[in-house]
Structure 1
Amino acid sequence: MASKVESLLLAFQSVLREPWANTLSGHERVWFLVYDPAEQRKIDLNFGDFEVSAKQAGKKWLVVSLKPCFPQWMAAHKYRESYFAKPSALMTQLEVGFRQYAIDFLRTAIEAGQPDEQTLVVVRDAGALFGFVRLADVLEAVASSCRGRLLVFFPGEYSQNQYRLLDARDGWNYLARPITG
């Protein structure tokens, strides 16, 4: 019997074998690799297997980690010390300033990798945005600029065309493709 991660890898490989239509909208080119958040370490341990599978399928692999996004934004913020003293003051800045920073962070990283129609842009560490900004808002802003496919490693659940990051809230639309094990 295959483990959850092995089942997810097999489902991913199956999706990779399908032809990539260039006529899809940006939202339809987004894939969510959905797994239980408790499996995160196992996913990280086997991350290279997903890359090998993509390359064996003839796809380019471009990884963008969202883990440094918030720390870089906070470190550069001129009012960071006052936010550490009074974290509630940070709330308005998250929606206004950090949301756009996260969008620009992801967009810049994607553009730097110069992806083409055969590139799988892999977004990892999606949970790093949790509690700061909605992942759906960030992906919504960059989905149409991805020419290949945007693969989001998604610790959460998928049910009835709704994605729930870390099992907390819904966010992404039904046009994104779920990959489940």
Structure 2
Amino acid sequence: MSDIDALVGAYERFVALPWSRNLAPAQRVWMVVYPPNDERRLRARIAAFAVATAKAKKTWSVADVTNSFGDWIGRNPYRETYFKSPDKLSAAALRDFERDLVVQVRSSLDGAANDSDGVVAVLGVGSLFPFTKVSKFIEDLAPEAAGRLVVFFPGERDGSNYRLLEARDGWNYLATPITATEDTL
């Protein structure tokens, strides 16, 4: 069994559990953690996560944020300036990107975020580095999902400390981890 098959199996067991309705947004976040070099394998098997969700009689919506920064900067009126002088991409401009990112994901879900029996899955968070912190994105997006927010996270976890792409300091987050190598139930 491959690591991705084991990850699908762990997710399938987890999504089938009864869901508590009175959790805070941060407690409704599930982090599906996998090695960054498995990104393409995971994407090839994303339908298996959708099938596992449907089997548990839950709805599935997925938002891919891989191209979000490129799309945002392509629409930005100052894009030529940023291309010529990337150092002019200020913290204020990046905060605009962060807000736009949450709005983009919310609108791509077509109301699915309002389903308390729904899974809102997010792919491509590795592409957000170094433009925004994934922790900030999750914090902003979590209240938007009435059911469960599932973040496919290419990195590692040590306790409740998550490290994106094994490339930066981690952050402590209260999300529920789902991994291929340990039983999180």
Q: Same fold (TM over 0.5)?
A: yes
Partner of 1:55: 54
In structure 2, how many angstroms separate the alpha carbons of the residues matched to 1:172 and 1:148? Answer: 22
Equivalent residues, number: 179
Partner of 1:95: 94
User: Structure 1 residue 115 and structure 2 residue 114: aligned?
Assistant: yes
Partner of 2:85: 86
Contact 2:50 2:60 in 1 (8 A): yes
Q: What does 1:7-156 align with in structure 2 at a 5 Å threshold?
A: 7-110=6-109, 112-113=111-112, 115-156=114-155
**Deviations, residues 55-95 of structure 1 (Å, cap 9, x unaligned):** 11111001111123112210111111111111111143443
Give the deviation of 1:112 after TM superposition. 3.8
In structure 2, how many angstroms separate the alpha carbons of the residues matched to 1:7 and 1:162? Answer: 22
Give the deviation of 1:154 after TM superposition. 0.7
In structure 2, how many angstroms separate the alpha carbons of the residues matched to 1:38 and 1:68? Answer: 19
In structure 2, how many angstroms separate the alpha carbons of the residues matched to 1:172 and 1:115? Answer: 27
Amino acid at match of 2:57: G
Amino acid at match of 2:95: V
Runs of 4+ in 1 over 4 A off after TM superposition: none
SS of structure 2 residue aligned to 1:20 = coil
Identity %: 32
Partner of 2:183: none
CA RMSD of aligned residues (A): 1.6
SS of structure 2 residue aligned to 1:23 = coil
Contact 1:127 1:155 in 2 (8 A): yes
User: Structure 1 residue 171 and structure 2 residue 159: aligned?
Assistant: no
Give the deviation of 1:41 after TM superposition. 1.1
Contact 1:36 1:156 in 2 (8 A): yes
Contact 2:113 2:147 in 1 (8 A): no
In structure 2, how many angstroms separate the alpha carbons of the residues matched to 1:137 and 1:177? Answer: 17
Gaps of 5+ in 1: none
Give the deviation of 1:109 after TM superposition. 2.8
Partner of 2:4: 5
Change (3 A) 1:150 1:7: same
Q: TM-score, normalised by structure 2?
A: 0.90
Contact 2:33 2:154 in 1 (8 A): yes
Change (3 A) 1:75 1:88: same
Contact 1:135 1:171 in 2 (8 A): no
Contact 1:61 1:119 in 2 (8 A): yes
Change (3 A) 1:137 1:150: same
Give the deviation of 1:114 after TM superposition. 5.0
Give the deviation of 1:111 after TM superposition. 5.5
Change (3 A) 1:70 1:31: same
**Deviations, residues 159-178 of structure 1 (Å, cap 9, x unaligned):** 121111111232351x2100
